[in-house]
Structures are given as structure tokens and as C-alpha cells.
Amino acid sequence: MRYSVASVITKALGGNKGWGRAWRDPAPKPSYDVIVVGGGGHGLATAYYLAKEHGIRNVAVLEKGYLGGGNVGRNTTIIRSNYMIDGNTRFYELSMKLWEGLSHDFNYNAMVSHRGIFNLAHTPGQYDAFAYRGNVMRSNGIDAEILDREEVRKEIPVLDYSEKARFPVYGALVQRRAGTARHDAVAWGYARGADMHGVDIIQNCEVTGFLRKGDSIIGVETTRGEIRAKKVAMAVAGHTSVLAAKAGMTRLPLESHVLQAFVSESIKPLVDTVITFGAGHFYVSQSDKGSLVFGGDLDGYNSYAQRGNLPIVEHVITEGKALIPCTSRLRMLRHWGGVMDMSMDGSPIIDFTPTPGLYLNTGWCYGGFKAVPGSGWVFAHLIAKDETHPLAAKFRLDRFRTGRPIDEKGAGPVPGHH
């Protein structure tokens, strides 16, 4: 069923009966044209665009848990395209353009909110670096503004502008089209959209190994039996190393890290944009329910546990309080962890693997949610056409061998530095 004003009114008058499932719950078929492993944002978007843009509908998404249980439902929901490095700028802008039409495209309200993002600068040097970034964005046709301290104060009065502020606000880089999207609605919208195009979404189905014929992958072993496929695509976010090892790829340039998200009690409107604190690593927005949703640094150790540790709770909240002092009396409601795969240059990998029939999407680190539409788009292109999409040309795996990292952070190809 397509959602529309008429269907909402009719169902409301009928006591909201008869909505039906948002997506089917099929048993796995013995074989598919494409299996996408991982029912997170990237896997679901890939399946959706495979079906919708390339007409490949005999597709299954295999998810070991439930949809939205991974990072796609655990992140701080920030979407933006304020990138600087060649290879990143135009890719993230593709994603932003897709975000702009997403709810209409898959007929589901993903609650995309273009409330803007303010990257705060706290020194003249940082301000100059943001001005440079803004100019790169503008020269690529991406919206960017540079505001000085007084202009920032007018728009975000709650920051600490006092004499005693440890990190005075100097100015900000602003992208007005950036913002947030309701994370689990994104997963559900893609799932429903893919299902409407015939894709089988199979939850509680863990891929435990791969079926081979000679050198090629011809399917997967799962907790629900063997399933064959012409092509198998991995989009398992923080678990790539575990799964890839089962296909014989034991030396991927990845580390798996825990990153936490935090939610406060609900309060009246305080922050109507997304703010990032340039003197530390803190980012905050306010949800439609009134909670402040925020995050900070990685937990700093490698783990597959989807929970965080207390020192980081203290660290992140200290940063939040330094930036917005009135939050000191706010109660924290929840925090949780997500597991992210970080590549050695902090940029993603979207590519073939050395094993015929196996395709790889990984390495998203902090930035993978905003990339979901663009990543699904270019990964579907790769799988459908066996050809790299021009906007993913720099995301090849061999850059770690050839020495061409896409290093947005400028930290070098160093573990844990992104």
C-alpha cells in the first residue's frame, strides 16, 4: 500500500485498522541474483536502488538481527555534505541530493530535517581552515557560509560567549542544507521501498560462511540454510573483518571501534540546528521530542560490544557543558554504543574484492549515516554493472596498496586517528 493523505484519513476514520505490514517476512528462497549481507542503512539502500534503478528484483537482504538494530538505528542522525577532499565532496553531495527527495522517493516519512549545521571555530587558524573548506564546497556547487562571532551569537544564543569561556567562539562554517534524518525511519523506509520492488528482507538470518565454486563465491551459508546467489555483497558496517575473514580476506585495512550516542530528557526548544564544537569532538541537535541528542569521541578501544564505557560519558558531557553551560542541570536519559569499521584513512571502501562474485562496502567510521543514500546508489551501480560508479572512483580498496588515501582529516593512514 502506498501512503497518502487520503489513506491516512481513511484509516484514521476506521480506527487505524488494516494498515498491513510495512514489509513482508518471507522465508529465504534457494537462490537469488544478488544477496546483500547486512540489513543496515547501506545494505537496504543498496537493495532498494538495485531493484528500483537497475531492475534487479530477485534480491535478498540477509540480516542477522532485526532491521535498525545496528548503527543505522544507533547514530546521532547528522547528515551533511561539507567535505573538502576530492573524491569526498561530490560523493557526499550526491547523498545530500538523494536525502532531499528521499521521503517522496520511497513514500515514507524519513523525517529529513534541513535545519543546518554550524561547525564552530575557536581560533583564527581554525576559522581560516573553515573558510578554505567553505570555498572548496562552493566551488563544487555546495552551499556554505562563513559567519563571524556576532553572527553566530545571533543564531545560537545558548553557547558560552562569556569572558571566562575556555574556548571562545570565533565564528562558524555553516551548511544550511545539512541537518538530521530520523535514523530508524530511514531503515524502515528503505526496507519498505525495497520490499515493494520485490526484494526479500530476511531478518534473524546470520551469514556464517560462503559457498564457493573454484575461486568464485556462489552463495552463503546462513543460520537458515544455504542460499545461492550470482553475486554476494557485504554491507555489515562494524563486522566486516569478521565476515570477510570467512571469505578468506584476513588483512583488510580496518579497525572496529565503539562510538556512543547520548540522549537527554526532553526540554523546550533550545537548539534549532546541528552544532559541532571545533575545540573538542562534540556534536548536538535536538530531537522532535525535545531531547538533546549528542555524541563525541570514540571509546578508544577495539570492541564488538554495542555499549560504551563511563569515562567517555564524562568526557563527552564535559565538552557539552563547556559549549552550552545551561545543560549542566540536564538529566541524561540514555546512552548506547555502536560498532563502526574505521579504515586507515577514515574514508569508505566500495569495491570489488579479489574474490569473484563478492563485493565490499565498508569503512564508514563516524560518517556513514549521511552517506546511506549515496552509498546505496553507487554500490548498486557497482553490483549491477560490474563497473565502479564515477563518484566512487576514489573508494577503491587498492588505494592502501598504491598509497593514494583519501584523507579528509589530514591525519595520515594511521589506525584510530580518524
Ligand X SMILES: Cc1cc2nc3c(=O)[nH]c(=O)nc-3n(C[C@H](O)[C@H](O)[C@H](O)COP(=O)(O)OP(=O)(O)OC[C@H]3O[C@@H](n4cnc5c(N)ncnc54)[C@H](O)[C@@H]3O)c2cc1C
81 makes contact with ligand X (CB under 6 A): no
Among 28, 35, 36, 43, binds ligand X (CB under 6 A): 43
76 makes contact with ligand X (CB under 6 A): yes
Beta bridge partners of 105: none
277 makes contact with ligand X (CB under 6 A): no
- Shortest gap between Cβ of 7 and ligand X (angstroms)? 29
Among 35, 62, 152, 159, binds ligand X (CB under 6 A): 62
Query: b vs e for 252-261, b when ≥16 Cβ sit within 10 Å of the residue's Cβ?
Result: bbbbbbbbbb
Show the cell assigned to 152.
553566530
Between the alpha carbon of residue 283 and those of residues 30, 250, 273, the distances in Å are: 45, 34, 11
Among 4, 25, 26, 65, binds ligand X (CB under 6 A): 65
Which residues lie closer than 8 Å to 240 by C-beta, 6 or more apart?
A: 234, 252, 254, 341, 360, 362, 363
260 makes contact with ligand X (CB under 6 A): yes
Among 35, 47, 56, 70, binds ligand X (CB under 6 A): 70
Nearer to ligand X, 260 or 291 (CB): 260
Alpha-carbon span 111 to 226, nearest angstrom: 37
362 makes contact with ligand X (CB under 6 A): no
Nearer to ligand X, 170 or 189 (CB): 189
Contact between 92 and 99 (Cβ < 8 Å):
no
**Which of 337, 339, 341, 357 is CA-nearest to residue 349?**
341
Q: What's the one-letter identity of residue 154? A: K
72 makes contact with ligand X (CB under 6 A): yes
> Scanning residues 310 to 349, which ones bind ligand X (CB under 6 A)?
338, 340
Residue length of the chain: 418
- Shortest gap between Cβ of 243 and ligand X (angstroms)? 5
179 makes contact with ligand X (CB under 6 A): no
Alpha-carbon span 283 to 75, nearest angstrom: 12
Bridge pairing between strands 225-234 and 31-37: parallel
Nearer to ligand X, 70 or 87 (CB): 70
248 alpha carbon, distance to own chain's centre = 27
Among 206, 218, 248, 267, binds ligand X (CB under 6 A): 206
Contact between 353 and 361 (Cβ < 8 Å):
no
- Tell me the window of 56-64, 95-103, 117-125, 383-391 that interacts with ligand X (CB under 6 A): 56-64
Nearer to ligand X, 63 or 408 (CB): 63
Among 146, 172, 259, 316, binds ligand X (CB under 6 A): 259
> Scanning residues 290 to 309, which ones bind ligand X (CB under 6 A)?
295
Among 23, 35, 64, 344, binds ligand X (CB under 6 A): 64
The DSSP element (H or E) to which 192 belongs, if any, is helix 183-196
- Tell me the window of 9-17, 84-92, 234-242, 394-402 that interacts with ligand X (CB under 6 A): 234-242
- Tell me the window of 96-104, 232-240, 317-325, 399-407 that interacts with ligand X (CB under 6 A): 232-240
Alpha-carbon span 14 to 345, nearest angstrom: 54
Question: CA-based Rg of the chain, rounded to a whole angstrom?
Answer: 22
40 makes contact with ligand X (CB under 6 A): yes
362 alpha carbon, distance to own chain's centre = 11
- Shortest gap between Cβ of 375 and ligand X (angstroms)? 8
- Shortest gap between Cβ of 340 and ligand X (angstroms)? 5
Nearer to ligand X, 182 or 370 (CB): 370
Contact between 338 and 7 (Cβ < 8 Å):
no
Alpha-carbon span 120 to 294, nearest angstrom: 15
Residues that bind ligand X (CB under 6 A): 37-43, 62-65, 69-72, 74-78, 206-207, 235-239, 243, 259-261, 295, 338, 340, 364, 366-370
